[in-house]
Amino acid sequence: MRLLKQALGVLGAVTLVAIIVTLIAPKAVHAVVAAAVDVMNTSANPVPTYDSGTRFQADLCVASGAISVASDYCSLNTGTTFVVPTVTSSGATVKRLIVDDVSGLCSSFNNPTLFIKAVRLTGQFVPDSVPNGETAAVHYLPILGAPYSYVNVPGGVYSNAPETDYSYGQTTHFSFNPGDTVTLAYEFYWPGSGSVDGSCLARIEGTLATQ
């Protein structure tokens, strides 16, 4: 009988401890989570948020050379730069432009030895990422696919001109500051003979990070 009473006493103590732990543990976990949020997302150092209703898009074009310019390759997209907005359409202050995709087309003309190898976007470093006092950052997008080369039919500005066409697209995570100017250009391989005649169109897409 005495052993039975002792066993029941131990079992009761264990059960009581389990109940207490069950009641206390969630509060402790919640306290830890709350403390982490308070430290990481304060008014003095807010976490950037994404305005899901404000997607950013810009179309740019760069052209150099007789055929690229005369053919109106860029058409209405004559700008080689854009300025990052400082506010969203809803009036929220922009902290960053996050570019998550860049795609487009490039062409070179009248020189089969000229090959466009990459597209680049140039802008300033974000304020908290300036190494060695540099003032500009260049983001490169390599053109990986094989080019398509041919000779144009007679007539017009393309008359019998060799042409090489490229397409490119890449998921990115580039950051630019509000108010900064972003410039489009292209890199090419050129052995030093023939004309430098080429053009690139680019569609830049991303999201405006706000605070």
Q: What pLDDT does 7 receive?
A: 44
**Number of domains observed in the structure of the chain:** 2
Q: What pLDDT does 35 receive?
A: 44
Q: Are strands 115-123 and 137-142 parallel, antiparallel or unpaired?
A: antiparallel
What is the SS3 assignment for 157?
A: coil
120 & 37 share domain: no
Residues 6+ apart with CB under 8 A from 135: 124, 125
> In which domain, by residue range, is 156 found?
49-210
130 & 81 share domain: yes
This prediction has a pTM of 0.72
39 & 101 share domain: no
22 & 107 share domain: no
62 & 148 share domain: yes
* Beta strand spans in the chain (E): 49-64, 81-83, 94-109, 115-123, 137-142, 148-151, 162-176, 181-189, 198-210
For residues 82-107, give the mean pLDDT. 94
Q: What pLDDT does 49 receive?
A: 53
Query: What would the pLDDT profile of 143-180 be if each residue is shown by its tens digit?
Result: 988 899 999 999 888 999 999 999 999 999 999 999 99
Which of 45, 65, 81 terminates a domain? The answer is 45
By the 8 A CB rule, do 208 and 91 touch? no
Residue 92 has pLDDT above 50, yes or no: yes
29 & 122 share domain: no
113 & 195 share domain: yes
No. of helices (H) and no. of strands (E), the chain: 2, 9
Residue 21 has pLDDT above 50, yes or no: no
38 & 53 share domain: no
Q: What pLDDT does 42 receive?
A: 56
16 & 81 share domain: no
201 & 156 share domain: yes
23 & 53 share domain: no
35 & 54 share domain: no
Q: What pLDDT does 47 receive?
A: 56
